[in-house]
Amino acid sequence: MNRRSRQRFAYWHEILLAGLLSCLLVWAWRTDPAFVSRDAQVELSTHVWELALLALPMTLIVITAGIDLSVGSAMALCAVTLGLTYEAGVPPLVGSLLALLVGTAAGALNGLFVAKVRVHPLIVTLATLAVYRGIAEGVSLGRPVSGFPDSFGFLGRGEVGGVPLPGLIFAVLAVAFSIVLAKTPFGRCLYALGHNETAARFSGIAVDRVKLWLYTLSGAMTGLAGVLLVARRNTAKADLGAGMELDVITAVVLGGTSIFGGRGNLVGTVLGVLLIHEAREFVSWHWQRDELNLVVIGALLILSVLVQRVLSSGRQEERH
């Protein structure tokens, strides 16, 4: 049995990430100063907001030792909902609300299977990844919908006081999520669930209800992300966000949230998102080869967990 009697400094990982980020930015500045200019960064930041938004609920889910692979597909489904309703004459704001509803429903379905049918979230969300994407493709027949009014586009492209609007929305939500995680009983339940689901049940925590809410919340966020994405790109297509779930999970795991549950926070996630974003954008900027990104992200994901494992090798992992 491990006895850790000294208090651990809890923020090594975040400091490490901040360090990596700084190194990256310094190197980028030395190589290509235009990259780190304010204008360039603001411009590039438009690529990251959906990823950042989805990383918020994903952090919570991974803390409970769960996973949600369907976020990209659910987002596409919401986007398609918005597009098709707009085509049918519904004002985009109403369409956005419908999209939010669809996302929430999608998340709730995940939650039902995870909590009530008690299927491993990996399998459920692997299946819904296909189902939601398939429905999006089937219903829209692959056709894009564009031509949204500028007023709507403001949601995705507008700035308020020099800060992109999606960025503001993200900031507000990030703070809200942090507060929920760190300062509410619900957040405490999540950590307990991740550490020891059995003990959580025995402690009177309504584990099934928590899980249901969590996945539903994730679904709602995919709705929001979908709406913002459509507003930004002025187009709603069924293939939006393909592969996004991988980026989100990488950002969360990179940010220090343990895939086994019980540990993690949103500061780390935000740093993880930033790190991935800057690495990716710089690779595109400098080498102009998007494919290299994929390799970098994939390798980062594996490495971050490998390092976590090596560092915590004192922990008992499998009980026999």
Partner 1 sequence: MEQPLVRIANLSKSFGGVQALIEVGLDVAPGEVHALCGENGAGKSTLNKVLSGSVVPDSGSVTFAGKPLRTGSVAASEAAGIAILHQESAAFPHLNAEDNLFVGREPMRLGGLLLDRASMRRQTREQLDRLGETLNARKPLGELTFAQRQMVSLARALSRSCRLLIMDEPTASLSAREMAVLFDLIRQLRSDGVSILYVSHRLEEVFELADRVTVLRDGRKVETRPVSELDRGELVRLMVGRDVRQPGQTRATAPIRPPASPLLRVQNLTRHGAFHDISFSVHAGEIVGMAGLVGAGRSEVARALFGIDRPDGGGAELAGSPLPLGSPPEAIRRGLALVPEDRQHQGLALPMTIGENLSLAVLRSVTRRGFFSRKLEMVLAERLIGELSIHTPGPALPAESLSGGNQQKVLLGKWLAASPRVLILDEPTRGIDVGAKAEVHRLMRELAGKGVGILLISSELPEILSMSDRILVMREGALAGELNRGEATQERVLGLALPDAGPTAAVGDATSRPDDSEQRSRPRGRLLLRRLAQQREYGVLALLALTVAVVAAVNPAFLKLDNLRDMLVHVAPAAIVACGLTLVIVTREIDISVGSLMGLLAAVVGILTSPQRVGASVAVGVLVTLLAGTGVGFVTGLLVTLGRVPSIIVTLGMLTALRGVTEMTMRGEWITELPAGLRFWGIGTLGGVPVCLWVAAAVIALTSAITRVTPLGRRLYAVGSSPRSAFLAGLSERKLKLFAFTFTGLLTALATLVSAPQLSVIESGTGVGFELLVVTCVVVGGTSINGGKGTVFGSTLGVLLLGIVATVLIFLKLGEMSTYWERAIQGAFILVAVLADHLARRRSAVEVGA
Which positions from 3 through 42 interact with partner 1, judged by CB under 8 A? 3-5, 7
Residue type, 270: V
- 3-state helix/strand/coil string of 166-189: HHHHHHHHHHHHHHHHHHCHHHHH
Binding residue (CB under 8 A) for partner 1 from 155, 192, 267, 275 = 192
Residue 120 touches partner 1, criterion: CB under 8 A: yes
Rounded CA-CA distance 287/318 in Å is 43
Query: To the nearest whole angstrom, how small is the minimum distance from the Cβ of residue 167 to partner 1?
Result: 26
Residue 314 touches partner 1, criterion: CB under 8 A: no
Query: Cβ distance 243 to 128 under 8 Å?
Result: no
Count of residues touching partner 1 (by CB under 8 A): 80
Rounded CA-CA distance 304/104 in Å is 31
Structure-token match 């999006």, residue found: 136
Residue 185 touches partner 1, criterion: CB under 8 A: yes
Taking CA 62 as the corner, what is the angle to CA 193 and CA 102, rounded to the nearest 5 degrees?
Answer: 105
Which residues, at least 6 apart from 277, have a Cβ–Cβ distance to it below 8 Å? 44, 45, 47, 48, 51
Query: To the nearest whole angstrom, how small is the minimum distance from the Cβ of residue 84 to partner 1?
Result: 14
Restricting to residues 127-146, name those near partner 1 by CB under 8 A.
127-135, 137-138, 141-142
Residue 157 touches partner 1, criterion: CB under 8 A: no
Q: Choose between 150 and 316: whose C-beta lies nearer to partner 1.
A: 316
Residue 311 touches partner 1, criterion: CB under 8 A: no
Query: To the nearest whole angstrom, how small is the minimum distance from the Cβ of residue 143 to partner 1?
Result: 11
Q: Choose between 48 and 135: whose C-beta lies nearer to partner 1.
A: 135
Rounded CA-CA distance 279/268 in Å is 16
Query: Cβ distance 207 to 91 under 8 Å?
Result: no
Q: Choose between 30 and 118: whose C-beta lies nearer to partner 1.
A: 118
DSSP 3-state of 9: coil
Going residue by residue from 46 to 75, which x/- string records binding to partner 1, judged by CB under 8 A? ---------------------x--------
Q: Which two tokens stand for residue 196?
A: 């020891």
Query: Cβ distance 275 to 24 under 8 Å?
Result: yes
Residue 103 touches partner 1, criterion: CB under 8 A: no
Restricting to residues 223-252, name those near partner 1 by CB under 8 A.
238, 243, 246, 249-250
Q: Choose between 172 and 242: whose C-beta lies nearer to partner 1.
A: 242
Query: To the nearest whole angstrom, how small is the minimum distance from the Cβ of residue 125 to partner 1?
Result: 10
Residue 288 touches partner 1, criterion: CB under 8 A: no
Rounded CA-CA distance 70/134 in Å is 12
